[in-house]
A = this chain, B = another copy of it.
Amino acid sequence: MRTVRFYFDVISPYVWLAWTQIHEVEARTGARFDLQPVLFAGLLQANGNKGPAEIASKRVHLLQDVARWAMTLKLRCAGPPAHPFNPLKAQRMCAALDDPNARRRLAGALIVATWENGRDLMNDAELRAIADEAGLDGAALLAAAEDPAVKERLRQNTEQALAEGVFGVPTFLVDDQIFWGNDRLGFLETYLAGGLRIDMADVEERRARPRAADRKKM
């Protein structure tokens, strides 16, 4: 079975929008998404980049855009009570689960809890309840989130993602192909079905072309 690595952080509404679509992509392609928790803030930090919620005008566009996606996909979006929020404990709880199926169950439950149902992922009681409702041991996962080895695993996941060329979430990796954004699930699905074989030597040739203008260091 084909596995697609799905790098996620519950902080992103686009991760949620992707989550709502992957089951159908799996049904149509036979591929399986493996949910890998990372810290979006860590990806931004490493690249000296800003997230969309960190630029006022980009945040306004994001809110309009997510509303359009939700309307198009007929999704309810209560949205988190505060945003950006700190996703650290939620992401660590996911990182504590070695079993891909359990990890995915928890990730999906957390994503839907905050984006669809407006629950607060910075609240321990909520985190525990959401895990319990997903058939997992919420108390044990909440405790595991404090385990130095689990904290390290989330850091390593984020480092691995960076090493693989990931700079945002959601990102989907399969073979040597990188797909960024819920809006690229169509391209990903076509690829999984055997299409969109781009010329990677040509991509590399373009990457190696000269730069004729660079802005001064910011």
Q: Scoring A residues 197 to 214 as 1 if CB is less than 8 Å from chain B, else 0, what string do you get?
A: 011001100110111111
Contact partners of A213 in chain B: CB under 8 A: 82, 84-86, 122
CB-based contact A196/B72 at 8 Å: yes
Does A148 interact with chain B (Cβ within 8 Å)? no
CB-based contact B203/A64 at 8 Å: yes
Q: A60-B178, A209-B83 are in contact. Are A41 and B165 (CB under 8 A)?
A: no
- In the complex, what distance in Å separates the CA atom of A190 from the CA atom of B85? 32
How many copies are assembled? 2
Least CB distance from A48 to B in Å reads 7
Q: Scoring A residues 177 to 191 as 1 if CB is less than 8 Å from chain B, else 0, what string do you get?
A: 110100110010010
Nearest opposing residue in chain B for A11, CB measure: B213
- In the complex, what distance in Å separates the CA atom of A68 from the CA atom of B180? 12
CB-based contact A211/B83 at 8 Å: yes
CB-based contact B61/A218 at 8 Å: no
Does A19 interact with chain B (Cβ within 8 Å)? no
> Taking beta carbons and an 8 Å cutoff, which residues of A are in contact with B?
41, 44-45, 47-50, 53-55, 57-61, 63-65, 67-68, 71-72, 79, 81-86, 122, 162, 165-168, 177-178, 180, 183-184, 187, 190, 196, 198-199, 202-203, 206-207, 209-215, 218
For the complex with contacts A57-B165, A82-B209, A84-B212, 18 further pairs of A-B residues with Cβ separation under 8 Å are A44-B215, A45-B215, A47-B50, A50-B50, A54-B214, A54-B215, A58-B168, A60-B203, A60-B207, A61-B165, A63-B203, A64-B177, A64-B178, A65-B180, A82-B210, A83-B206, A83-B211, A183-B183
